[in-house]
């Protein structure tokens, strides 16, 4: 999974993720990242972000299967395009549609967070120190247009 440095810790403990790559923020970093992706020779690249930069990474990846959204001026980057679900859909559900060309039909978009043992202990200590027995986070997810 390629993600921002800020989001990487959320994925590093996930047993379903083989590796977490830091997606660069600069043009030079993107060029280096493309080189790394090409050297790794991935069998498939799934572009869940769909901006011009991630489409370029997909296009230059050398992956035989490249999946992304059917967006004008970007569809050239992909071997398989997926129509993006409209506004009002849960973003995780929208992104799961990108797996269909791989034969993966994933209907459960329930988010999971995997914490390390030290993170769980620190959270328990923080709740204890704050006098909070339980914690409720609202909203737990957003729709594709960024609204709950």
Per the CB < 8 A criterion, the answer to whether 34 and 42 are in contact is no
> Rounded to the nearest 10 degrees, how much is the dihedral formed by the CA atoms of 67, 65, 18, 140?
10
pLDDT score of 108 more than 90: no
Query: d(Cα 148, Cα 17) in Å, to the nearest integer?
Result: 27
For residue 134, what are the contacts with CB-CB under 8 A and spacing of at least 6? 127
pLDDT for res 147: 52
The residue among 81, 113, 141 whose CA lies nearest residue 9 is 113
Q: What pLDDT, in 10s, does the model give residues 11-21? A: 888 898 899 99
Distance set, CA 97 to CA 38, 48, 73, 125 (Å): 25, 10, 20, 39
Of 67 and 5, the one with more pLDDT? 67
For residue 109, what are the contacts with CB-CB under 8 A and spacing of at least 6? 90, 92, 93, 96
pLDDT score of 91 more than 90: no
Whether the pTM exceeds 0.85: the reply is: no
- Read off the DSSP letter of residue 100: G
């Amino acid at each position: 999974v390629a993600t921002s440095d800020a989001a990487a810790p959320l994925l590093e403990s996930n047993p379903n993720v083989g590796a977490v790559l830091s997606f660069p923020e600069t043009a030079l970093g993107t060029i280096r990242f493309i080189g790394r992706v090409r050297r790794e020779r991935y069998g498939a690249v799934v572009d869940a972000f769909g901006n011009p930069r991630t489409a370029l990474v997909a296009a230059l990846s050398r992956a035989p299967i490249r999946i992304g959204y059917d967006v004008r001026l970007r569809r050239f980057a992909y071997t398989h395009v997926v129509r993006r679900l409209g506004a009002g859909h849960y973003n995780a559900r929208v992104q799961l549609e990108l797996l269909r060309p791989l034969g993966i039909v994933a209907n459960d978009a329930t988010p999971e967070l995997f914490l390390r043992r030290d993170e769980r202990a620190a959270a328990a200590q923080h709740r204890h120190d704050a006098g909070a027995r339980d914690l409720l986070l609202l909203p737990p997810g957003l729709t594709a247009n960024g609204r709950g």
